[in-house]
Amino acid sequence: MSMPLSGAALDAAITQSIATLKATFGDQAPEVAVVLGSGWAGAVDQLQDQQHLAYAALPAFPQPKVEGHVAEVTVGRVGQQRVAMLRGRAHTYETGDCTGMAGAIRSLKAWGVKLLLLTNASGSLRSHQPPGSLMMISDHINAPQRSPLTGLPGSDRFTDMSTAYDRELRQQALKVAQIHNLALNEGVYVWAVGPQFETPAEIRMFSAWGADAVGMSTVPETILARHAGLRVGGLALITNMAAGMSDEALTHALTLQQAKVSGDRAAAFLGHLLASLATLESLKA
């Protein structure tokens, strides 16, 4: 994967990407966009009246090389709610650069998207949250303390992160889970760069910090989205117990296997949540 664009080159790529999004899907953007992480790919089947656009046609978007990711934007409806689904993301471990999703997120904002819902596969740090569980992210810990806003000019780079994950969306998700008799935890997500999995000592440290799940994505995207002025939600599918919490050796294949086992249930819940967002007047304002 090539290094992400920056500066004038990124601005030009965003301008071109916005024009292509509008030409393909219309000037009126969906209010909601979803980044589909590992285990969430099946959510695209929830969309009616689908339209597709490859990332290759969008110069501001990344070209993911990770197994389980498809480089495509799919737009459609879930009930009355129009949604854009991003099928693939850039990870910091691919290039060492944490700005890989900057162009995509800024393009979505400029197109007119209001809410970005980030999904991922995570390891659990809590025994009450076994593989197959779903966790709504209430807050995060940026363990490496790296920011995709580093080097940007202007005072808006000092972005407020005190309510990074939208409270109204979290409340809505809990309501939907209750209606559908689904256990949905809320918890703190800690970002580790990867690509290696964490050590048991690191997991003990993260647990002591108050983290409930660990993964290799989401946090840079949340920072970028909040800087852009987007509302943000986060959903984690628990695919394994973190290092030292079970006798199982951690592999990417294990993550994908558990994601496949639990993916249908995760995708169904995501569909219910997205359909319910059509009732939120705050998204229409």
Q: How far apart are the first and last CA of the chain?
A: 38
Domain boundaries, the chain: 29-283
Q: Are 120 and 239 in contact (CB under 8 A)?
A: no
Q: Which of the following is catalytic: 133, 185, 217, 262?
A: 217
52 is catalytic: no
Residue 202 binned pLDDT confidence (cut-offs 50, 70, 90):
very high
From the candidates 33, 43, 69, 135, which is the catalytic residue?
69
Q: What is the pLDDT of residue 14?
A: 96
Question: What confidence category does residue 57 fall into, taking pLDDT thresholds of 50, 70 and 90?
Answer: very high
Mean pLDDT of 176-184: 94
Could you confirm whether 240 is annotated as catalytic? Answer: yes
Helix axes 102-111, 7-25, angle to 10 degrees: 50
Q: Which residues contact 175 (CB under 8 A, 6 or more apart)?
A: 276
Going by pLDDT thresholds of 50, 70 and 90, the confidence category of residue 65 is low
Separation CA 72–CA 60 (nearest Å) = 13
From 57, 252, 275, 276, active-site residue: 252
Active site residue 107: no
Residues 45-67: what's their mean pLDDT?
88
- Is pLDDT at 37 greater than 70 in this prediction? yes
Superfamily of domain 29-283: Nucleoside phosphorylase domain (3.40.50.1580)
DSSP label at 31? S
The pLDDT score that the predictor gives to residue 250 is 65
Q: Report d(CA 187, CA 137) in Å as an integer.
A: 5
CA distance 247 to 92: 28
Any catalytic annotation for residue 181?
Answer: no
Give the chain's mean pLDDT: 92
> Quick one: average pLDDT of 63-68?
63
Question: Can you say how many angstroms the Cα of residue 130 is from the centroid of all Cα atoms in its chain?
Answer: 21
Q: What is the pLDDT confidence band of residue 151, given thresholds at 50, 70 and 90?
A: very high
CA separation for the pair 150, 5 (Å, rounded)? 14
> Is residue 67's pLDDT more than 60?
no
- Strand duo 231-241 + 134-142: pairing: antiparallel
User: Is 93 assigned a catalytic role?
Assistant: yes
